Amino acid sequence: MTFLFVVPTLFFAGFLLYFIVWNLYYSFLDYSIIHAHNPQFAGFGTYSSVLGDPLFVTAFGRTILWVAVCLAATNALGILIASLIFFLDNGKLKSIYNSLFLYPISISLAASAVIWTWLYNPQEGINSVLTALHLPAFSGLSSPSTAELSLIIVSIWIYSGLSAIFYYSSFQGVSTQVIESARADAAKAHTIVFKILLPEAKNAFIVATVTIFLFVLRMFSLPYVATGLDPFTMTLSEQMFNYFTTEFFSKASVVSIVVVIIAAAVIVPYALFGVKRWISGD
């Protein structure tokens, strides 16, 4: 009768499933402000109009680009930070640094957006430092050409610490004897990192990549708070919200389904792979 224990959780998880089915159903209708009262079956009609909407197409491309750049940067920085911390001698210092790089994740994306908007302020922000140093100014959020990059930088600042602790903990799993004997052989630090630590960090790579992928895929409040529903920074989630607020409900559902498909392609294998490690592994 232990099954009773999981019933409440299943009840709530069932809603999620229901929501997905609901979206799927509505994505095949033409439910919108125009057909608010008797939405009709539209087949793939709504799909084709969404996929043909330049706003959607750019939002889609931008989100993918964002994911790619952020993943590359957070993995690289994560490895760098984790290695730097790993080779410290002082345990206390290690945990302080780990927290220092991780703290941005405890601040809401909305608050981060507010702060970074100021940091990107053309007169008072980072630019005041750059000008003082006679360096070229960074146009930040104020120019369409750098707006997205500026936001990607913020997301890198937020998630690098997370990637770092995943790498750090997998480095710690490497036998100290192996590392000590490498040191005794006078191996250089970077040799230890690339030849000994990283080959053991496959798990960290998968976990960091999947988690950050999902975080960025649903990116909404950072661009929304920083720039509003701005065509130069709009993400998939924002585009969905955009359809929703303009009452193109079926179109919003289509975007949901697109997001679900992308997410599921990553989540399903990850969950199956995780089941082994999470419970039955040891």
Partner 1 sequence: MIKPLKLAKKAIHHAILIVLAALWLIPVYAMLIDGMKSAGGVLTTPILQPTGLSFTSLIEVSTALELPIVNSLIISVTTAAVSTLVGALAAFYFYKGRSWTNNSVFVIIAIATFIPYQITLVPVTEILSTLGLFNTYPGLIFTFVIFHLPGGALLMTIFMSNLPKSIIESARADGAGDWAVFSRVAFPLTLAGAVSTFILTFVEVWNNFFIPLVLTSTPNMYTASISLLSYTGGYGTLYNDSFAAALVASLIPLLVFVILGRYFMRGFLALGSGSKG
Classify 35 as helix, strand or coil.
coil
Instruction: Please identify which residue in 12, 37, 177, 185 interacts with partner 1, judged by CB under 8 A.
Output: 12
Residues 6+ apart with CB under 8 A from 202: none
Packing angle, helices 249-275 and 202-217, rounded to 10: 170
Applying the rule CB under 8 A, the residues between 27 and 86 that interact with partner 1 are 81, 84-85
Instruction: Please identify which residue in 161, 171, 198, 233 interacts with partner 1, judged by CB under 8 A.
Output: 161
Of residues 188 and 195, the one with the C-beta less far from partner 1: 188
Classify 37 as helix, strand or coil.
coil
Instruction: Please identify which residue in 40, 48, 108, 191 interacts with partner 1, judged by CB under 8 A.
Output: 108
Instruction: Please identify which residue in 57, 114, 135, 137 interacts with partner 1, judged by CB under 8 A.
Output: 114
Min CB(93)–partner 1 separation in Å? 9
Min CB(111)–partner 1 separation in Å? 4
Instruction: Please identify which residue in 28, 56, 101, 159 interacts with partner 1, judged by CB under 8 A.
Output: 101
Nearest in space to 151 (alpha carbons), one of 61, 236, 242, 224: 224
Q: Which residues on neighbouring strands pair with residue 41, listed in sequence order? A: 29
Min CB(71)–partner 1 separation in Å? 15
Q: Which stretch binds partner 1 (CB under 8 A): 32-40, 57-65, 142-150, 244-252?
A: 244-252
Min CB(261)–partner 1 separation in Å? 10
Applying the rule CB under 8 A, the residues between 190 and 219 that interact with partner 1 are 203-204, 207-208, 210-211, 214, 217-218
Task: Note whether 191 and 179 are within 8 A (CB).
Answer: no
Q: How many residues bind partner 1 (CB under 8 A)?
A: 103
Exposure string (b/e) for 68-84, b if CB count within 10 Å is 16 or more?
ebbbebbbebbbebbbe
Q: Does 176 bind partner 1 (CB under 8 A)?
A: no
Task: Note whether 86 and 78 are within 8 A (CB).
Answer: no
Instruction: Please identify which residue in 65, 72, 115, 130 interacts with partner 1, judged by CB under 8 A.
Output: 115
Q: Which residues on neighbouring strands pair with residue 29, listed in sequence order? A: 41
Q: What are phi and psi of 231, to 5 degrees?
A: -60, -20
Applying the rule CB under 8 A, the residues between 252 and 281 that interact with partner 1 are 252-253, 256-257, 259-260, 263-264, 267-268, 270-272, 274-275, 277-281
Task: Note whether 203 and 162 are within 8 A (CB).
Answer: no
Other Cβ atoms within 10 Å of 45 Cβ, number: 14
